[in-house]
Chains A and B, each alone.
Chain A
Amino acid sequence: MDNVIAQSEPLMPRETSVHEAGYDVEHEHAFVPQHRHHFETEEQQREAGSFGMWLFLLTEIMFFGGLFFAYLLYRNWYYDAFVPASNFLSIKWGGTNTAILITSGFFMALAVWAAEVRNKQILVWTLVATMLFGWAFIGIKGIEWHDEWVHHHIPGSGYDVSEFVNPKAHGITDAKPLPPDMAQRTQIFFFLYFGMTGMHAVHMLIGLGLLFWLLWRAQRGDFTDGYVAPIENFALYWHFVDIVWLFLFPLLYLINRHPLAH
């Protein structure tokens, strides 16, 4: 292939040095409506799009990275407080939500396939399923947050440590009572819990908003004539949000079930 370059003409065509250069090649390579004029080929456009999306996801990794580090630090500092606070969360709800989110991601993956094989009906229905499971996740998250609100576990002035200072009085039999100063540190757990799940939920809501728009365009037939990039790139985003949850679930719900005795 190298000799293609060697054979080709020298760097600039002569006309460019003339000021009134021709300007007729502007849309020569526009094959399809969604093809942007500054890309040479559709393939180049598609790959640029998915590369750009990946770079955006890198920024998301680093954004959540700060929160994950804060969690790591404070879990080590306030281990005794993190154990009962974490065990207050319900594995039942958390596990269900994990399954729901995986299912939503599964349908999104199918949606990409449907767009690739140009089947509009399957595409629309898989997008609807993705969306429904997404909302189910948000709904369950809402139930959980409501639970925490009822138990006064929202950090701030209304925060109540009595459950951690005197678990037996609240009917919790398997937890050690905490000294009051350590019990206050359970707030840190709930800061991080609300911060991380909240930030995750914000990403979910943004995704669900985008899904409405994609769904509307999909049923118009925009993505089933060979133009799959928006579906593909949205799927990357949606799966990334899944992955964040795949880490949040064990960190927040699971890993403190068997506290180490110091």
Chain B
Amino acid sequence: MSHEAAHEHHYHDPANVTNPEHAEHHIVTPLQYCYVYGTLLFFTILTILAADWDMGIFNPVVALAIACTKAVIVILFFMHVKYQSNLIKMTVGCGFFTFIILITMTLLDYISRAWGLW
């Protein structure tokens, strides 16, 4: 694209709207959605089966790991984050980061209040 043309069509600064805050509009195909859907159902059955199996302290760990996997799949594909700009990816990360601060910093207080009783 020549400079003339660029100037005509981009009233905004390309550098502001392109990298890293911009991504091309990507259309995910229905077939891809079907794969995702199948995977999610598979993990649902897996988590129910895993709950039946006595793994000691690993039962909650496995259940939550599966839940996290499912959540990541939904975020990446159903919510299109995989095809989004870095800005959106960072925004999502930022949300979970703050959530983790809330959980860990508060939990640290409770754990250290009753050392060894947890």
Contact = CB atoms under 8 A, between A and B. Distances in A.
Indicate if A touches B (C-beta under 8 A).
yes
B118 A109 contact: no
Interface in A196-240: 235-236, 239-240
Contacts of A44: 12, 17
A68 interface: yes
Interface in B50-102: 50-52, 54-57, 59-60, 63-64, 66-67, 70-71, 74-75, 77-79, 84-85, 87-88, 91-92, 94-96, 98-99, 102
Contact of A7 (B3, B41, B51, B106): B3
Given A99-B41, A105-B74, A243-B74, A69 B102 contact: yes
Interface residue range, chain B: 35 or more
Q: Which secondary structure dominates where chain A touches chain B?
A: helix
B44 A99 contact: yes
A160 to B, nearest CB: 26
A10 to B, nearest CB: 15
A55 B91 contact: yes
Contacts, number: 155
A62 B96 CA distance: 9
B28 A257 contact: no
Interface string A226-262: 0000000001100110110011011101110110100
B108 interface: no
A76 interface: yes
B29 interface: yes
7 contacts: A2-B15, A50-B88, A58-B95, A61-B96, A73-B107, A254-B50, A258-B59
